[in-house]
Copies of this chain bind each other. A is one copy, B any other.
Amino acid sequence: MTNKLNLNNLTKSEEDYLKALFQLLVEGGSAKVGNNQLADYLKVSPASTNNMIKKLKAKKYVASEKYGKLELTEEGKSIAVRLIRKHRLWETFLCNYLNFSWDEVHEVAEQLEHIKSHKLINELDRFMDFPTKDPHGEVIPNADGEYSVLPKITLSSLEEGAVCQLVSVNDASVTFLKYVSEIGLALSSEIKVLEVREFDSSIKIQFNNIEETVTRKFADNVFVKVI
């Protein structure tokens, strides 16, 4: 029972790797995540991830056997969640107070999430009156690291005739987010799946009296709640 108040002496890179693992394992819901998959996600070489994983295993943030799949320890998860909390709070601040649009915030938040100061992030939270969702509809973990990982149902997984509400979007692609806004979709939009085309998996949807055809790739990045 020593380090409840965690020193957090991690480098920016170590933090990024833990966050990536968390996003693949927990938020992405992948049962198994391998070294190459992590390398792919982080856009670095497999040699780099292999090397970093060794370091994180030595520090007890990651657990895995040689040639086995990667897992996060409780401590590893805790660090990742705190990073995600910071990321989403900053995104919210940029959008709600500094006139950033939802496609502009992610890149800057990638930098801001590494600022080390408990007071900073908790005061920012208070200043915004404890927001629970970020500009992309993603849940913001609270100061104790608690938050609900909503099961991510993609628009692409729905059948013809389904009616749903847009809950959140993948925040990492600027062009995707601009596209979403441009066609008139937003958080809470009510969407009806009119047609799922077998040929190319494109989907015809309806919302706000608008009809649009979107690709499978687009629909994979839109998360919904069926109603």
User: Which residues in A have some Cβ–Cβ distance to B below 8 Å?
Assistant: 94, 97-100, 104, 107-108, 111-112, 115-117, 119-120, 123-124, 127
Contacts and interface: CB of A to CB of B under 8 A. Distances in A.
Main secondary structure of the interface of A (DSSP, over half): helix
Residue from the set A97, A98, A124 with the largest chain B CB neighbour count within 10 Å: A98
Q: How many copies does the complex hold?
A: 2
Contacts of A100: 119, 123
A50 to B, nearest CB: 26
Given A111-B115, A112-B115, 7 more contacts: A94-B120, A97-B127, A98-B120, A98-B123, A98-B124, A107-B117, A115-B115
Contact of A108 (B98, B108, B111, B115): B115
Given A104-B119, A119-B104, A127 B98 contact: yes
Nearest to A116: B111
A169 to B, nearest CB: 21
Nearest to A117: B108
Contacts of A120: 94, 98, 108
9 contacts: A97-B127, A98-B120, A98-B124, A100-B123, A104-B119, A107-B117, A108-B117, A108-B119, A111-B115
